[in-house]
């Protein structure tokens, strides 16, 4: 009974960093179902248990796609980043994804902190001999005076031949120099390209054995270690640190007429360190969470497309830094698809988080429960409309909702009796099961949902003589909180609890507000869901 009595649990600090979203569009369920839902479920479970997690993320403002979007909208990168950065925060709030700090590196107070961290990290890495200067050939358009790199450059991947834009291939995850792009051409028809020789900064990575050993220690799956090994094989143990772009944090030593900015992929290392410092202030520990002796468990959640930036740039650079620990956990999810195809912001093949959250018929809890049921740790999964409607109606409205109704009608008047020992034991074991699924080097949201489902289906608990209905509902709120926070909080508070569900307050016998209606789920029709679906899923759309 350690968790439920709370007497043996010393609260532990955690820093959770879902990746910074690129502020060039709103969030869709593909973004939400992966790194954001994972970090939110982990944080909520830790809070239930009495630990002290903080979720810190932000906006990847200096991505070249932000400058591209600004060009398309006849705006400025700063304005586009501010507008979509706010939209991203609103989308997260709408989906009940809790964020304790949202770092926007081009705006105060973050700007000064970020630029100081960039300067300090560059100085330290240079002093340790980890920064190389190399010449490379880069396309430039004299008419528009644009360095045609990043999202501005299109062509084919030198490794696999797939169509690419930017410095890496989404198909095979190869990274390459602009000069290696096959059939390079500018995205815009803005005039002829001339190839100019410039000097750029690269990071010399640590010995590949050391990096691989570290990844083993972090519990990174073999397939992702293989991705990293292939990258290191190809790129000769270096990663880009600077790019000739005007939108970014300037780095010293540029040549006349050639901008030199921090490469956004390298910037995620400095971003993580700023998140570590912010954690120190917000948590009261007073130290950067990445300090070797911080006592803080640090973890990041990421999609498979961020394996190289995270495992090479962040973990690799942490090893070079010399006075920090890398992330303790890198939790990698496979892609969440929509009707079998990749979510695509540009092709508008997406269910937007804001749309489904605003639906009068579909609750955010229902969406989260459905997304959490996918097992993105072991493979890709897909949002299918028929399966979603089954979850909303058969599993939740007609299943769990009716069980809640029935239990509500059996709530005791006044104070409940103490729970039967078997009830507390089962709850304790299912909470431990959720810890194993969420507080671990490999995360399984499906396993966390399965623990909740087992409790929900347990008739012995709900009908136990000692006011079983009361304790079943209260246990439900602890196990459901990571997945369905609105339902969990409502049940908890209507049973007389204060604030959020907590294991330490479980055994407190509080009188239920029996006069209030039972929380539940409305039914969702195909038309309700249809209102949130993109044109790409309508009859007659190209498959």
Contact residue for Zn ion among 60, 159, 355, 377 (CB under 5 A): 159
In Å, how far are 59, 115, 137, 295, 340 from 447, measured between CA atoms? 30, 41, 50, 28, 23
Q: How far is the CB of 185 from Zn ion (least distance, A)?
A: 17
Q: How many residues bind Zn ion (CB under 5 A)?
A: 8
Quick one: which of 171, 197, 233, 530 contacts Zn ion (CB under 5 A)? 171
Which residue do the tokens 């969990």 mark? 488
Site stretch for Zn ion (CB under 5 A), options 16-24, 167-175, 379-387, 495-503:
167-175
Q: Which two tokens stand for residue 63?
A: 């991505």
Degrees to nearest 5, angle at CA 94 with 91 and 100 = 80
Q: Choose the binding region for Zn ion from 49-57, 166-174, 342-350, 501-509 (rule: CB under 5 A).
A: 166-174
Residue (159 or 458) nearer to Zn ion, CB:
159
The tokens describing 109, both together, are: 């107070």
Q: Is 172 in the site for Zn ion (CB under 5 A)?
A: yes
Applying CB under 5 A, does 174 fall inside the site for Zn ion?
yes
Which is closer to Zn ion, CB of 182 or CB of 541?
Answer: 182
Choosing from 169, 451, 461, 533, the residue that interacts with Zn ion (CB under 5 A) is 169
- Taking CB under 5 A as the criterion, the residue among 160, 216, 347, 394 binding Zn ion is 160
In this chain, which stretch among 158-166, 178-186, 217-225, 306-314 interacts with Zn ion, using CB under 5 A?
A: 158-166
Nearer to Zn ion, 157 or 400 (CB): 157
Task: Based on the shown chain and the rule CB under 5 A, indicate whether residue 177 belongs to the binding site for Zn ion.
Answer: no
HEC readout, 453-520 = HHHHCCHHHHCCCCCHHHHHHHHHHHHHCCCCHHHHHHHHHHCCCCCCCCHHHCCCCCCCCCCCCCCC
Q: What b/e sequence results for 57-66 when a residue is b if at least 16 CB atoms lie within 10 Å of its CB, and e otherwise?
A: bbbbbbbbbb
Single out the residue of 70, 153, 157, 424 in contact with Zn ion (rule: CB under 5 A): 157
Closest approach, Cβ 174 to Zn ion, in A, equals 5
Q: Kindly state the tokens that stand for 82.
A: 């501010």
C-alpha closest to that of 32 among 97, 98, 99: 97
Stretch that binds Zn ion, among 160-168, 214-222, 422-430, 476-484 (CB under 5 A): 160-168
- Across the beta sheet with 329-333, what order do the strands follow? 101-103, 52-58, 13-17, 297-303, 329-333
- Identify which of 372, 299, 298, 332 has the alpha carbon closest to the alpha carbon of residue 223: 332
Stretch that binds Zn ion, among 169-177, 215-223, 337-345, 459-467 (CB under 5 A): 169-177
Q: How far is the CB of 309 from Zn ion (least distance, A)?
A: 16
Minimum CB separation of residue 175 from Zn ion in Å reads 10
* Only segment of 31-39, 130-138, 164-172, 469-477 that touches Zn ion (CB under 5 A): 164-172
Tell me which residues in 338-357 interact with Zn ion (CB under 5 A): none
How many angstroms separate the CA atoms of 157 and 508, rounded? 61
Minimum separation from the CB atom of position 173 to Zn ion (A): 7
Rounded to a whole number of angstroms, the minimum distance from the CB of residue 227 to Zn ion is 12
Segment (H or E) for 235: helix 222-235
52-58 vs 101-103, strand pairing mode: parallel
List interacting residues with Zn ion (CB under 5 A): 157, 159-160, 162, 169, 171-172, 174
């Amino acid at each position: 009974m350690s968790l439920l009595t709370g007497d043996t649990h010393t609260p532990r600090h955690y820093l959770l960093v879902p990746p910074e979203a690129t502020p060039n569009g709103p969030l869709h369920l593909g973004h939400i179902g992966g790194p954001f839902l994972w970090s939110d479920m982990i944080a909520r479970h830790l809070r239930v248990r009495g630990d002290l997690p903080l979720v810190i993320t932000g906006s990847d403002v200096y991505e070249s796609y932000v400058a591209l979007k600004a060009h398309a909208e006849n705006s400025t990168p700063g304005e586009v980043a501010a507008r979509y950065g706010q939209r991203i925060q609103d989308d997260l709030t709408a989906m009940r994804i809790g964020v304790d700090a949202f770092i926007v590196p081009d705006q105060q107070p973050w700007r000064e902190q970020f630029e100081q961290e960039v300067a300090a990290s560059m100085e330290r890495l240079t002093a340790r001999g980890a920064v190389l200067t190399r010449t490379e050939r880069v396309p430039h358009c004299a008419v528009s005076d644009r360095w045609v790199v990043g999202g501005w450059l299109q062509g084919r991947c030198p490794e696999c031949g797939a169509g690419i834009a930017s410095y890496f291939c989404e198909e095979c995850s190869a990274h390459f120099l602009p000069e290696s792009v096959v059939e390079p051409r500018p995205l815009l028809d803005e005039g002829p390209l001339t190839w100019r020789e410039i000097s750029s900064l690269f990071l010399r990575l640590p010995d590949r054995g050391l990096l691989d050993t570290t990844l083993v220690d972090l519990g990174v799956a073999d397939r992702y270690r293989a991705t990293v090994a292939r990258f290191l094989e190809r790129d000769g143990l270096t990663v880009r640190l600077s790019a000739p772009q005007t939108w970014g944090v300037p780095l010293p030593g540029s040549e006349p007429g050639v901008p030199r900015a921090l490469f956004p992929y390298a910037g995620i290392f400095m971003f993580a360190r700023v998140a570590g410092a912010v954690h120190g202030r917000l948590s009261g520990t007073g130290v950067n969470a990445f300090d070797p002796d911080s006592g803080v468990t640090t973890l990041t959640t990421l999609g498979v497309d961020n394996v190289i930036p995270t495992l090479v740039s962040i973990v690799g650079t942490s090893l070079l830094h010399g006075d920090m620990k890398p992330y303790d956990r890198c939790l990698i999810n496979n892609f969440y698809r929509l009707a079998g195809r990749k979510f695509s912001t540009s092709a508008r093949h997406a269910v937007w988080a804001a749309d489904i959250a605003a639906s009068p018929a579909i609750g955010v809890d229902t969406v989260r429960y459905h997304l959490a049921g996918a097992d993105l740790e072991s493979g890709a999964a897909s949002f299918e409309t028929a399966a979603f409607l089954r979850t909303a109606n058969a599993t939740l409205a007609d299943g769990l909702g009716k069980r809640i109704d029935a239990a509500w009608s059996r709530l005791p008047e006044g104070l409940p009796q103490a729970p039967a020992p078997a009830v507390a034991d089962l709850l304790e074991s299912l909470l431990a099961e959720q810890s194993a699924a969420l507080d671990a080097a490999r995360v399984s949201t499906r396993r966390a949902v399965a623990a909740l489902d087992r409790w929900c289906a347990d008739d012995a608990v709900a009908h136990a003589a000692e006011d079983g209905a009361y304790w079943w509902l209260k246990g439900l709120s602890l196990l459901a909180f990571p997945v369905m926070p609105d339902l969990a909080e409502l049940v908890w508070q209507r049973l007389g609890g204060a604030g959020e569900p907590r294991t330490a307050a479980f055994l407190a016998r509080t009188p239920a507000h029996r006069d209030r209606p039972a929380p539940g789920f409305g039914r969702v029709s195909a038309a309700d869901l249809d209102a949130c679906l993109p044109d790409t899923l309508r009859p007659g759309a190209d498959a």
